[in-house]
Amino acid sequence: MDDTRDIEALIDLMARLPGLGPRSARRAVLALLKKRGQLMAPLAQAMANVALNARDCMVCGNIGTSELCPICADPARATGEICVVEDVADLWAMERGQAFKGRYHVLGGTLSALDSVGPDELGIPRLVARVASEGTREVILALNATVDGQTTAHYIADALAGSAAQITSLAQGVPVGGELDYLDDGTIGAALRARRRF
Amino acid sequence: MDDTRDIEALIDLMARLPGLGPRSARRAVLALLKKRGQLMAPLAQAMANVALNARDCMVCGNIGTSELCPICADPARATGEICVVEDVADLWAMERGQAFKGRYHVLGGTLSALDSVGPDELGIPRLVARVASEGTREVILALNATVDGQTTAHYIADALAGSAAQITSLAQGVPVGGELDYLDDGTIGAALRARRRF
């Protein structure tokens, strides 16, 4: 029976998406089968379109559809500031924050001896060259506050020690809307150490 | 920026799948973007393939890729038994049970005055005609044990009252592996009333 095999193959592929297991993939495919015209065909088209056209920006590593991503191609974005993020997801999160008007460098991961991810895989030499050639004034390390993220941040800070750029990192403290009672001890300690005049 | 618009459009479509919200759709699309070659292109292809070829079986309402679904087209499946299910998902669940070797009738929903779903929308006249023309011996009502499901089951039983077919329904009782302490009172009552000689 070729037809159920096609549907099974689709379910298997869907089940490989994060957040979907075999059961929820089956449910998603059934919903797609019920809305073949309105949802399934446009989704297949949109996915094929992105799969065909998406490419990594040659400057910053962000995902776009041309050699330069929209941020690197935008003349309104300040060239003097580079925000270093682990992942495209983090870049999107920064953009949703609408607070940063400079450009990015997407590492694509963190340094990891176990997974043999070294500075070259993360494009750190490329970042150092870029900071020198663009005359970058400030490099903001917006890495996750995890052990791997902070290790990578320290490595990058060392690599950039010879450059003229100032190295900064995101502030640690109480999240907006956060309640002290629900915060972990580390965050409260960091927020206290970084306290500011009111 | 055309490129982010394409990606945003894909995220919006993905977010319309059951079980995915805007946040998990974004995560899924990012995972797809990272595996463009291995996952995104094949998934788009499989989806387009199914969207193009899937159609409802003209006899039972199951989904296949030709006029007859694989079950209706299979000469090894008994024609004397028809199992009535609400949805293709329920048909798949019955097939996973591997206990039923007959054919199906997929209603596509339940009777609902509020949503103006009547017998014609569920193909009940078609089922009655099919039972008469195929000389069906038994119609198994495998509808969900909900109020809507049981209302629909009673309507179908009434509609088939004039036919020669025996009308049965799935047994209610303790699920295999179920613990009494965790079962609701209704199930325990039903299991007690339907008790069998050991």
CATH code, domain carrying A22: 1.10.8
Indicate whether A183 belongs to any domain: no
pLDDT at B197: 86
Name the pLDDT band for B10 (thresholds 50, 70, 90).
Answer: very high
B138-175 as b/e, with b when 16 or more CB fall inside 10 Å? ebbbbbbeeeebeebbebbeebbeeeebebebeeebee
A3/B66 CB distance under 8 A = yes
pLDDT at A132: 93
Alpha helices per DSSP H over chain B: 2-14, 22-34, 41-53, 70-73, 88-97, 124-134, 147-159, 185-193
Indicate whether B174 belongs to any domain: no
What is chain B's percent helix, strand, coil content, to nearest 5? 45, 10, 40
Residue B3, pLDDT above cutoff 70: no
Distance (Å, rounded) from C-alpha B152 to C-alpha B146? 10
| Residue the block writes with tokens 């009547």 | B118
Please name every residue paired with A85 in a beta bridge, in sequence order, or none if there are none: A106
What domain count does chain B have?
Answer: 2
Identity at B197, one-letter amino acid code: R
Of A9, A48, A66, the CB nearest to B3: A66
Indicate whether B183 belongs to any domain: no
Name the pLDDT band for B32 (thresholds 50, 70, 90).
Answer: very high
Name which of A41, A32, A35 is nearest A11 in CA terms. Answer: A32
Chain A contact set for B30 (CB, 8 A): 87-89, 92
Of B6, B42, B65, the CB nearest to A6: B65
The range of the structural domain enclosing residue A16 comes to 2-53
B51/A65 CB distance under 8 A = no
Say yes or no: B58 contacts chain A, CB-CB below 8 A. Answer: no
Indicate whether B175 belongs to any domain: no
pLDDT tens column, B135-176:
999 999 999 888 899 999 999 999 999 899 999 998 888 888
Name which of B60, B29, B63 is nearest A30 in CA terms. Answer: B63
pLDDT at A85: 94
CATH number of the domain to which B114 belongs: 3.40.1360.10
Residue B66, pLDDT above cutoff 50: yes
Q: Are residues B73 and B161 in the same domain?
A: yes
Distance (Å, rounded) from C-alpha B44 to C-alpha B62? 23
Name the pLDDT band for B1 (thresholds 50, 70, 90).
Answer: very low
Residue B40 is classified by DSSP as I
Q: How far is CA A165 from the centre of its chain?
A: 23
Q: Are residues B78 and B97 in the same domain?
A: yes
In this prediction the ipTM stands at 0.79
Q: In chain B, pLDDT over 70 holds for what percent of residues?
A: 98
Which stretches of chain A drop beneath a pLDDT of 70? Answer: 1-3
Indicate whether A109 belongs to any domain: yes
Name which of A58, A103, A66, A67 is nearest A85 in CA terms. Answer: A103
pLDDT tens column, B128-137:
999 999 999 9
Say yes or no: B39 contacts chain A, CB-CB below 8 A. Answer: yes
Q: Are residues A78 and A48 in the same domain?
A: no
Q: Are residues A136 and A67 in the same domain?
A: yes
Q: Are residues B115 and B49 in the same domain?
A: no
